[in-house]
Amino acid sequence: MQHESEIEIVNFCPHGLKAMAGLPSIVEHLQGPRPGEYNFIVPITLIGAFGISFLLIPHLWSLRYTGTEATIRQRSTQMCVIAASPLYVSCLKLLAVLAPRFWHPAFVCITIYEVIAFWLLFRLLLGFIDESEEAVLNVLSRFPPIRPWAVPPFFCGLISAPCTTPRVPCQWDLQVCKALLLQFSLLAPAVSLSEMLADNERSARMLGLLEIGSLLLAVYALFVTMNMTHVVLQERRLHHKFWSLKGTIMLNMFVFRIASIVAPKPMRINDLCFSNNALAAARACAATNILLIPIAALVCYAYPKTDLDKNAETEAMLSSQPDLWPQI
């Protein structure tokens, strides 16, 4: 039972690994004493996780592929991993709330999963057209020229020629997109891990800004990829796929950043010290799990089982109009 006399508002809690040692395990946390706001945070987070599981687990089961065709099996795996993003995030958010000692390792694992999901979405969009990049570019070359990099709100006016001159997508475009995704793959987990080890709040906030910049570049790469392929993949619900993943990642990142800005003061209970970041993370977990419920519903629409079919609509489009743009 929690006693008011056991709770003390303090000005400082340890940071980094020392902060993890000062937080309770799941058994200690559930048995108490604990900050009173957890009495609301725990059930709210549980409700969010249950709602997401109710929506996504049956849908993920329907996306399984038990056949022998390697291409469709790979596509099924890619779709399941991407579509499971809200479920994975919500489960780790629940862990962070139930076991505050592990909230930061849980956030690191979420970041790693986000990186994997970004890469898989990039490969999935190209795989809907063909297996090899050369074949993808060959298909795209049969459509009218576009402005691949003129994508609002990321229009790059500083590099006007590649952005404003209509042209057929080329290998350079794919390489730059992969480079932008690669920097996010390397930087995001490194920043998240560094935040966990940082011994002061100022360093953690600077690292957070770096992570946001890296994420925006990766998002730009996926915007460009969709811009290049949307004419071919009109029936694949590209924007729903993109926004369901982007919504999951943005909620995970920005809800925590906002919660950190308005975080309460650290709180000491006996030998345990709940830092302001730990309390902010708990609040963010509850809010994120509730907000992810509509994202989970969007995922169910964005990834229908018909996506496991072969590229029939693409082949039909190309066969009916074998040369949509004359080769020069």
Strand partners, 273: 268
- Taking only Cα atoms into account, the Rg of the chain, rounded to an integer number of angstroms, comes to 23
CA atoms within 13 A on the CB side of 183: 17
Rounded to an integer, what distance in angstroms lies between the CA atom of residue 159 and that of residue 177? 16
Of 57-61, 91-95, 205-209, the least confident = 205-209
Q: Are 20 and 274 in contact (CB under 8 A)?
A: no
Write phi, then psi, for 167 (nearest 5 degrees).
Answer: -160, 170
pLDDT of 328 > 50? The answer is: no
Q: Is residue 16 part of a domain?
A: no
If one counts the domains in the chain, the total is 1
pTM of the model as a whole: 0.85
Q: How confident is the model at residue 278 (pLDDT cuts 50, 70, 90)?
A: confident
Q: Is residue 7 part of a domain?
A: no
pLDDT of residue 2: 44
Which residue is associated with the tokens 């290049």?
A: 228
Average pLDDT, integer, range 293-303: 95
User: Exposed (0-12), middle (13-18) or buried (19+): which is 40, by Cβ within 10 Å?
Assistant: exposed
User: In CATH, what number is assigned to the domain containing residue 209?
Assistant: 1.20.1070
Q: Which domain holds residue 287?
A: 24-308
Q: Is residue 326 part of a domain?
A: no
Where does the chain have alpha helices with state H? 17-21, 26-31, 38-62, 70-83, 85-98, 103-127, 133-140, 160-164, 171-197, 201-229, 238-261, 276-302, 312-320
Q: Is residue 17 part of a domain?
A: no
Q: How confident is the model at residue 267 (pLDDT cuts 50, 70, 90)?
A: confident
pLDDT of residue 293: 96
pLDDT in tens, 299-322: 999 999 888 876 655 555 555 555
Rounded to an integer, what distance in angstroms lies between the CA atom of residue 220 and that of residue 316? 30
pLDDT in tens, 147-178: 888 776 666 544 544 566 788 888 999 999 99
pLDDT of 252 > 50? The answer is: yes
